[in-house]
Structure formats: structure tokens, C-alpha cells
Amino acid sequence: MDNRPIGVFDSGVGGLTVVKQIIKILPNEELVYFGDTARVPYGSKSKETVTKFSEQIIRFLKTKNVKAIVIACNTVSSNCYESLSEAFKGLPIIEVVTPGVESCLAATKNKRVALIGTQGTVSSGAYERRLKNADNEIQVFKKACPLFVPLAEEGWTDNEIARLTVKEYISELVEKGIDSIILGCTHYPLFKATIGDFVGEKVAIVDPAKATALKLKEFLENHNMLNESSDEGKRRFYVSDNYANFDKMCESVLHYTCKAEKVDIEKY
């Protein structure tokens, strides 16, 4: 039995959608979450800057004796996964792109898929390359949706502003005849109901969060790292700023009362 916690991080509240799935699938695992709320969003920043931020966060999570890291951020997963794995050899790191690609391949029937994400994720080409490597007949229609992250951080995911923003971003993708849409940012599942109302039942919404949690479970099982305690795992939350609003979003997403602790992440 390995009762060390799992570290999870994102630029803000979006990674809580991954935490939600991890709790469902691995309820006994202890979790340490870091949301970089002082420096959100990541999608408009350079690869070098996002890599620097991610290294600081992983160094912080290592002080919590984590046994594995989940990058609950598509921008980091798309741009920095290889370099982070190299920098932190020996520490298992799970990213969200591969599970998202696998889920999309299983969902699409007409091989016309949409990818929505931050500018950093869309520009990286990570999803498109992996989809086409698996099936070169797949057509990928990409769209950066930068307003979704600040709206999610504000908690505006199911109001008129959210619905108008979804319509503005998604309309041209639906017109392409897509049958599936990848939520290529962990903030975007917070808009899942609003997006679903707009695209209708004929378009599958691919949320990599569940597949990522399943990938984590598979890794822990294969390496005898599961926490086999019968007790529910403890969850600790840390942020770099604005923890009052984070607590509100945490309760909304996880139905869990948390008091996030503010950390000076620049020290790491």
C-alpha cells in the first residue's frame, strides 16, 4: 500500500474537473491540488513561461511527498510534458492529452472532430498530431476559445453571457459537420451543459477528465502504488492568489467544503 498523496495542478479552477473524476474513481487516494490563480490563464503565455511556472509548482508538490503528478492542464500537457518528465525523472507524471485523444477516437463515427482549447493548446498541434497518427483520415477543426477560462474562474458557466460566448465560438465548428468535440482545456467541462444544449445530441462531447483519472488508476495498479486504505482520502488545496473565490468554485464543482491555503509559489 502506498498512502502518499497524488499531486494535481492547473492554472486555476479548471483542474477541479479532473479532481472530481479522480475522487469518483479513486476515492481512497489522498490528493494535493495546486491552482495557480495568481497567474491564470496559461493559454496566452509562452511555452518557456508555462514551463517555468509548471516546474515551480511541481517542486512545491514534491515538498508534500507526492507519489505521482497529474497535469490537469491542457496547455501544460500540450507544450511541456516531455520537458517536465525529463526535469523530474523518477516522478510519474500523467498528462491529459493522450486520454483525450483516445476518448475522441472512440467517440467519432464520421471522423470530423472539433478541438476547442486555449491558444497555447490549439497552436501546439498536440491533439491534431496524435489524432492523425492514429487515423490519418480524421479531420480536425480547431478553435481557440480564450474567454472561457476567465468566465469559468468567475463562475459564469451557465448564464446568458456564457450561452452567447458558446454560440460565438462553437457555431462555425458545428457548421463543419462535426460529430464530436474535444474539450481541450480542463476549464471547459464547466461549460459542458451549456455546450451540450447548443450542439445537441448528435455531437459527442469529449471530456478528457474521466479518461485521465482512469489512466492514473491503471498506472497506480500496474506499479503497486494504490492506497488500499478503506478510508476516504484527504484532500488539500493550495492556490497562489484569490483563495476565497477558489473555495466557492471548489464547493460548486466538488460539492466539498475546502479552505485553500495561499502559497508563495515564486519561492520554488
Active-site residue, selected from the candidate residues 104, 185, 250, 258? 185
Contact 91, 31 (CB under 8 A): no
Beta bridge partners of 186: none
Active-site residue, selected from the candidate residues 73, 80, 104, 250? 73
- 250 is known as an active-site residue: no
> What is d(CA 44, CA 50) in angstroms, rounded to the nearest whole number?
10
In one-letter notation, the amino acid at residue 39 is: R
> What is d(CA 158, CA 214) in angstroms, rounded to the nearest whole number?
28
Residue 190 main-chain phi, psi, to 5 deg: -65, -20
- 80 is known as an active-site residue: no
- The DSSP H or E segment spanning 32 is strand 31-35
> What is d(CA 59, CA 237) in angstroms, rounded to the nearest whole number?
16
- Regarding beta strands 261-262 and 112-117, do their DSSP bridges make them parallel or antiparallel, or are they unpaired? unpaired
Please name the residue ranges forming H helices in the chain.
Answer: 16-25, 47-62, 74-87, 97-107, 119-124, 126-134, 148-154, 160-174, 192-199, 208-222, 243-254
Residues recognised as catalytic? 73, 185
